[in-house]
Structure 1
Amino acid sequence: MPLDITLESWLWNAACAIRGPVGAPKFKDSILPLAFLERLSDVLEEELYRLAEECSNREVALSLVEEERKEGAIAQGRGLVRFYIPEEARWTNIRKQDKGLGQYLTNAVRKKKLSRMVMSVEAELRKRVIEHLRELGFKVENGELALEGNSDKHFLRRLHDAVRRLALYQMQGWVENLWPRLRPYFADGRDINPEAIRPVLVEATTPWQRELFRLARLTWSLPYSKGYGRRLRFLILDEGNRNPEGQPYLMGILALQSPPLSFPPRDRRFQYPPGRKTELVNQTMDIHTLGALPPYSYLLGGKLVALAAASNEVREAYRRKYEGRRTEIEGRVLPAHLVALTTTSAFGRSSLYNRLKYNGEPIAISIGYTEGYGTFHLEPLYPLFREYLEAQGISTRGGYNVGPRIKWQTCVRALERLGFSGALLKHTIRREVFLFPLIHNLDDYMEGRTDEPEYKDLPFADLGAYWRERWLLPRVARVDGWYKWEAEQLLESLLVRNEATGVRSDER
C-alpha cells in the first residue's frame, strides 16, 4: 500500500498527536493558518528591524508604522512595511501563553479579524499581481499578457525601473557609506584628455575592486544582478587619466556567469554529440554585465568593453580560476576551456553588438531573438511569491543545476497557486541574442568533431588600440557633450525616495 504523504495527511497526523482523534478535526483546520501567522510575524519583524536601523530607533519606527496604519497607507500598499499585524496577535506574544492559549488565540485572532486577514492573503496577492502589471503598462487578456502601448526603449526602461528602485532603496546605507571613498574613481568630463586615454583590463578580485564594480553597476537603468554559478568580474581602468590621488579612472565593467543549460537560440545553432551537451555548454559563459561609465560612455566606451569580452586576458582569467576544479555535485573535472560567450541585448535590437568587428572579423554574431519569456517584469513581486510558497512548506532554494531557473520555477508555482496561468511569464519583449566565438573552430568543437580548440589571438592591448582609432578619436572629433559630465550625477541616480514618505535617503 503506497504511503499517504499529502499535506492533508500531515496536518491530520499532527492534529491527532497534539489533540487526539476526537479534537483533531477542528484543530487540524487551525494548524496551517497558525503556521502562516508565524511566518507572517517573522517577516513583519524583519521589516521592522530594517526600518529601526534606518531610523536609528525602534520606537520611532513603530510610531511611523502605527501612523501609517491609521492613515490606511499600509492597507493601500504604500507603507514602510508591506502589511500589519496587531501586537497581541504576533507570534512573539502568542508563544508566551502557557495557559488559556485557545481563548487567547480566539481573542487575538478573531477579535482583530486576523484569521480573515491570513486567509485573504491569496486574494490580496492576486490583486497585487494585477495592479503591478497594469502599472507597468500590461493588460491581462484570456490569461495572457498584452502591451497596452508599444515596447520602445523608454517603456522597457520603465519596466526595469521599479525593480531597480526597490533594490536601491534597500541598499541606501551601503551606497552612502561607499560613495565618499569610491567617488574619486568616477571622472568628470573635464578631467579627461581623450588623447591620453590608455585602457587596462583588471580582474576584480580584491574587496575594494568588487565594491567599485558593484557601485558602478548600481548606476545603470537595469536592476543589479550578482550572477549565477561560475563568475568573473572585470574593471577597465584608464591609466592615462588619473584623479588627484593618482588613481586611474573607471571606464567600464564586465561580468560573466554560468550559461543557461537550455537556451534555444544557442541550442538551435549546434548539434551537440549525444550525452555531451552539459559538458560543452559549461565551456562557455554568459555575459550578464557589460558597459561603460560616463563620460567614457559618451565616447563609445561600450564598444571597448564589448571587445574586451573576447580578449585573451578574459580567457586566461577563466583558465586560472577554474583549471583542475571539480564540480561540486558530480565531482567531475571539466576542461578549463572558454570557447564562447553568449549575451542578450538589454532592450530589443542592439546597436552595441551589431557590426562589432576587429580588423574586419566579427566579434559578436547575432543568432536570433529570445521568445519573450522571463521574470524581470515580476521582480518586485518575487519576495512575496517566495514568502507565500515557503509559508506553505514549498522550498524556493536554488542549488546545483538550478541557477536562474529557480526564480522561474518560483514564479510559475506561485502564479498557478494564485489561480493565474504560467503564461503571465510571457512578457512578449524579445531580446537579440549574440554569440562571441573565442575559437576559430567553434562549430566543430561544440559538435564533437574535435577536442582541440583553436583559440583566437586577441590581446586586450591590441583591441584597445583598435578601439582608439576606430571609435574613440572619430567620436571626439564629432561630439563634445561628454566634457560637461559631472560624476555627482551618478550619486543622484543612486539616491531614491521612499514613495510612502517622499523622503530621500540623504534627506533623513
Structure 2
Amino acid sequence: MPKGDAIIIGVNLREANLKRKLREHLHSLGFTKTDEGALRPPGNGKEAIRTLHSAQREERLIASESFVLRAGAKLMHHFASGSEVKPEKISPVLERVSSSTWQSDLFRLAALSWSVPVSNGFGRRLRYLVWDQSNGKLMGIIAIGDPVFNLGVRDKFIGWNSHDRGARLVNIMDAYVLGAIPPYNSLLGGKLVACLLRSRDLYDDFAATYGASRGIISQQEKKARLLAIITTSSMGRSSVYNRLKLHGTEYLKSIGYTGGWGHFHIPDWLFTELRDYLRYKDHTYADQHAFGQGPNWRLRTTRAALTALGFKDDLMRHGIQREVFISQLASNATKILQSGKGKPDVSSLQSVNQIADMALERWLLPRAIHMPNFKYWKSSDLIDLFGNQAQLLRAQVEQEQLLDATQRN
C-alpha cells in the first residue's frame, strides 16, 4: 500500500475515534439533539446544571488529590460548625490572599467544595478570604480577575462598540469566585459576600495594585480605575444576587443572560485530545494559548477542532443561560465607561464593616430566626462535598484528630 494512503487511513481512524468519544461524552451528560442538529441540554434546573458540570468537577478533584492529601486535614479546622456561629456576633473581615501561602491553600480547598468548578482566573487578580472575626472561621471567598473580552450583554448595557471596549475594558473586573461557605450560606451569607464587591476596601486595593498597570493586550500604559465588577450566576437565574440592595443602594444589578455558548461541557481530557488533533493538523491554535493572543483561547481552540472534525458550531451551544450582574462601584460608572471621561464618584462606597452591619440586619439575622437549621451543620459535613476525595480527606482528618488527642494525653 502506498505510504500516502496509510497516512490518510490513519487520519480518518483518528478522526472517527475522536468523533465517537465526543458523541459518547455528550450523550453521557444527557444532551440530545434538536431537529436542526443543535444540542438540547437535559434541563435548566440546578440539578441538571450540576450534572453537566460533573465530569469537569471530577477531573478537578482527581487532579487535586495530592493537594488534598497534603493540606486538606490541616485546614479543616478553619470551617465552622453551626453551633460555633452566633448570628448576632458575626463580624466579617477581608484578608487578601497571596500566592504560595496557607491562605491560598485554604482558598483552593474551599473552592474545591463547590458543585460547579471555579476558574483559576487570569491576568490581574485579587483574591480574598472572608473571615468571621467572632469565631475565627471562614465565611466565604472572593476572587476578581481580568474580564471576559466578549460579553455581549455587558457591552450592550454599557453602550460599547468594539473600539470603546478595547479602550476602557481595563476599568472592569470579573468576579470569577464569589460565595459563602456552609453554614453561612444557609444564613444568606452569599448575599453579604456578594455585597462586599462594592466596598471601599476592594476599590482601594485595586487602585494600589493595578492603578498604573499596562494593558496586556494593548501593551499601553492605562490609569485603570475599578469602575465596575461583572459576575455571572453559575446556576442560571440567581436568587442570591437578585434584589441586592442595602439602604436604597443597589449592590448588584441584573443586566441579562448569556447566550448559552461555551466549552464547560468539554472536559480537560477531551480538550487535550482535540488540541492534540489540531497539533497533528498543524493548526496554530493548538499551542497559541498565552494571555494577550486574543479572547478565550480555549473556546476558539475547541471551536477550531470541532470545525476540523466536520461538526457545526452548534456543539458549542450548550443551552445553559446564566444571569449576568454588574456591581457599579462608581455611581457614574456607566457614563465614564461610555465616554472615557470624568472622575469616578465613589462617595457612596462603604467599608466592609459598614456593609456587613447592614447585611446582617437585612438578611442574616432574620434568616437565623426563621430558619435555624444551620445550627445542625457540622464542619465535618463539608468533607462530603469533595466527591471522590471525601473518603481520603475524612481518613486524613481522623488521623489528625487522633494525633492531637495522643499529644494532649
TM over 0.5: yes
Offset at 1:262?
2.0
Match of 2:188 among 300, 318, 332: 300
Offset at 1:264?
0.7
Equivalence for 2:87: 194
Amino acid at match of 2:276: E
Query: Where do residues 9-158 of structure 1 align in structure 2 (5 Å cutoff)?
Result: 120-141=13-34, 142-147=36-41, 149-158=42-51
Distance 1:473 1:441 in 2: 32
For structure 2, which runs of at least 5 residues remain unmatched after alignment? Answer: 397-409
Distance 1:136 1:216 in 2: 26
Distance 1:355 1:329 in 2: 35
Amino acid at match of 2:14: V
Amino acid at match of 2:353: A
Offset at 1:228?
2.0
Aligned length: 390
Query: Where do residues 50-449 of structure 1 align in structure 2 (5 Å cutoff)?
Result: 120-141=13-34, 142-147=36-41, 149-205=42-98, 207-241=101-135, 248-272=136-160, 275-328=163-216, 330-380=218-268, 381-394=270-283, 395-402=286-293, 405-448=296-339
Moved more, 448-457 or 177-186: 448-457
Identity %: 35
Moved more, 349-358 or 404-413: 404-413
Given that 1:199 and 1:236 are in contact with CA atoms closer than 8 Å, whether structure 2 keeps it comes out as yes
Cα distance change on mapping 1:403 and 1:506 into 2, 3 Å: farther
Given that 2:72 and 2:393 are in contact with CA atoms closer than 8 Å, whether structure 1 keeps it comes out as no
Given that 1:175 and 1:494 are in contact with CA atoms closer than 8 Å, whether structure 2 keeps it comes out as no
Given that 1:368 and 1:432 are in contact with CA atoms closer than 8 Å, whether structure 2 keeps it comes out as yes
Q: Relative CO higher for 1 or 2, CA cutoff 8 Å, sep ≥ 6?
A: 2
Distance 1:387 1:506 in 2: 37
Distance 1:129 1:400 in 2: 27
Tell whether 2:366 aligns with 1:474: yes
Equivalence for 1:9: none
Distance 2:300 2:217 in 1: 21
Offset at 1:119?
5.1
Cα distance change on mapping 1:305 and 1:153 into 2, 3 Å: same
Distance 1:219 1:274 in 2: 38
Amino acid at match of 1:474: P
Offset at 1:483?
1.2
Given that 1:285 and 1:342 are in contact with CA atoms closer than 8 Å, whether structure 2 keeps it comes out as yes
For structure 1, which runs of at least 5 residues remain unmatched after alignment? Answer: 1-24, 34-114, 242-247
Distance 1:449 1:331 in 2: 18
Amino acid at match of 1:391: Y
Amino acid at match of 2:379: A
Deviations 1:340-370 (A, max 9, x none): 0111111111111111002112111111111
Three-state SS of the structure 1 residue aligned to 2:133 is: strand
Offset at 1:339?
0.1
Look at both structures and tell me which one has the larger radius of gyration over its CA atoms: 1
Amino acid at match of 2:143: A
Given that 2:69 and 2:392 are in contact with CA atoms closer than 8 Å, whether structure 1 keeps it comes out as no
Offset at 1:325?
2.4
Offset at 1:267?
1.0
Given that 1:369 and 1:433 are in contact with CA atoms closer than 8 Å, whether structure 2 keeps it comes out as yes
Distance 1:452 1:507 in 2: 56
Equivalence for 1:77: none
Amino acid at match of 1:466: M
Distance 1:507 1:466 in 2: 41
Given that 1:325 and 1:333 are in contact with CA atoms closer than 8 Å, whether structure 2 keeps it comes out as yes
Three-state SS of the structure 1 residue aligned to 2:68 is: helix
Amino acid at match of 2:382: L
Given that 2:217 and 2:292 are in contact with CA atoms closer than 8 Å, whether structure 1 keeps it comes out as no
Given that 1:145 and 1:427 are in contact with CA atoms closer than 8 Å, whether structure 2 keeps it comes out as yes
Cα distance change on mapping 1:185 and 1:227 into 2, 3 Å: same
Given that 2:230 and 2:326 are in contact with CA atoms closer than 8 Å, whether structure 1 keeps it comes out as yes
Cα distance change on mapping 1:505 and 1:454 into 2, 3 Å: closer
Cα distance change on mapping 1:478 and 1:314 into 2, 3 Å: same
Offset at 1:478?
1.0
Amino acid at match of 2:308: R
Given that 2:207 and 2:226 are in contact with CA atoms closer than 8 Å, whether structure 1 keeps it comes out as yes
Amino acid at match of 1:311: S
Three-state SS of the structure 1 residue aligned to 2:388 is: coil
Alignment RMSD: 2.5
Offset at 1:409?
0.8
Given that 1:322 and 1:336 are in contact with CA atoms closer than 8 Å, whether structure 2 keeps it comes out as yes
Three-state SS of the structure 2 residue aligned to 1:364 is: strand
Moved more, 462-471 or 183-192: 183-192
Deviations 1:57-77 (A, max 9, x none): xxxxxxxxxxxxxxxxxxxxx
Cα distance change on mapping 1:290 and 1:179 into 2, 3 Å: same
Three-state SS of the structure 2 residue aligned to 1:291 is: strand
TM-score (norm 2): 0.89
Three-state SS of the structure 2 residue aligned to 1:363 is: strand
Three-state SS of the structure 2 residue aligned to 1:377 is: coil
Amino acid at match of 1:132: H
Given that 2:124 and 2:146 are in contact with CA atoms closer than 8 Å, whether structure 1 keeps it comes out as yes
Distance 1:294 1:506 in 2: 17
Given that 1:386 and 1:410 are in contact with CA atoms closer than 8 Å, whether structure 2 keeps it comes out as yes
TM-score (norm 1): 0.72
Three-state SS of the structure 2 residue aligned to 1:121 is: helix
Deviations 1:291-310 (A, max 9, x none): 00011111111011101111
Distance 1:330 1:274 in 2: 14
Three-state SS of the structure 1 residue aligned to 2:339 is: coil
Three-state SS of the structure 1 residue aligned to 2:131 is: strand
Given that 1:356 and 1:363 are in contact with CA atoms closer than 8 Å, whether structure 2 keeps it comes out as yes
Distance 1:403 1:483 in 2: 48
Deviations 1:392-429 (A, max 9, x none): 33323322435761111111111112221111111111
Given that 1:143 and 1:420 are in contact with CA atoms closer than 8 Å, whether structure 2 keeps it comes out as no
Given that 1:324 and 1:333 are in contact with CA atoms closer than 8 Å, whether structure 2 keeps it comes out as yes
Cα distance change on mapping 1:404 and 1:158 into 2, 3 Å: farther
Cα distance change on mapping 1:495 and 1:347 into 2, 3 Å: closer
